[in-house]
Structure 1
């Protein structure tokens, strides 16, 4: 089983993943874990943009493709699958909802919340001002959206791309994790 968690900045994705990991005994694969794995496998340099959610430069991409090079997006997808496909796990980000879209044992989740709630969470988590938290939300969400669209040609946050879309601002982080667990149970 795979659980993929896409999330708006400040919506509690890591906290939800931690709760699910504890209840289900599943490992979490997030940015930090993927970076560790890429370094362990000596493939960090070729996957650095993907791991850091940096879109591919369109000019360089077209240049690479015109010389018959392999599509870097395919390499990124292969890397995520190589690292995660052998075990049940929770994958945060990395376009995993699209990578595992055709896997019947995958539950894909999108977490979101009102910007004011997310801003407050960021202020508390990072000990920053309201203005800094607002800027973080804007930058991170824009980056995630552009990254998903470029890597997968899908819209980040589009409800059609996920099994569940949960507003953690309305039901809270713990209830969001409970809802995911109930959904998994109902699918059996």
Structure 2
């Protein structure tokens, strides 16, 4: 079983993942874990853009592709699958909803919340001003959207790309976890 979690900045993605991991005894693959594994395997440099959800420079990408280079997207997908395919786990970000879209034992979740709720969470988490939190939210969300679109040609946050879309600003983290668990039970994935 896999649970993929895509999330707006400040919507509580890590909190939801940690609670699910504890209840289901699953490992979490997040940016930190992917970076550690890439460094262990000496493949960090070639995967740095992907690991940091940084879109590839489109001009350089088009030049490389015209000379027959392999699509970096394929390398990224292979890297995620190599690390997670044999694992029952939770994957945060990294286009995992797309990578495992055809896996019947995978539940893809998108977490979102009102900007004010997310701003408050970021301010509290990072001990920053409202202005800094709003800037962080905008930058991170724009980066994630561009990255998802470039790597998968899908729209980040489009409800059609996920099994569940949950507004954590309305229902909170604990109930979001319960909704995901109930969905997993309903689909007989456990």
Q: TM-score range by the shorter chain?
A: over 0.9
- How far is 1:67 from its partner? 1.0
- How far is 1:164 from its partner? 0.1
Q: How does 1:1-188 map to 2 (within 5 A)?
A: 1-188=1-188
Task: Give the distance between the partners of 2:170 and 2:106, measured in 1 at CA.
Answer: 25
Aligned length: 188
- How far is 1:102 from its partner? 0.3
Task: Give the distance between the partners of 1:21 and 1:88, measured in 2 at CA.
Answer: 10
Gaps of 5+ in 1: none
Task: Give the distance between the partners of 1:62 and 1:134, measured in 2 at CA.
Answer: 33
1:20-79 deviations in whole A, cap 9, x for unaligned? 000000000000000000001110000000000110001110111111111000000000
1:92-123 deviations in whole A, cap 9, x for unaligned? 00000000000000000000000000000000
Task: Give the distance between the partners of 1:59 and 1:167, measured in 2 at CA.
Answer: 37
- How far is 1:146 from its partner? 0.3
Gaps of 5+ in 2: none
Scaled by the length of structure 1, the TM-score of the pair is 0.99
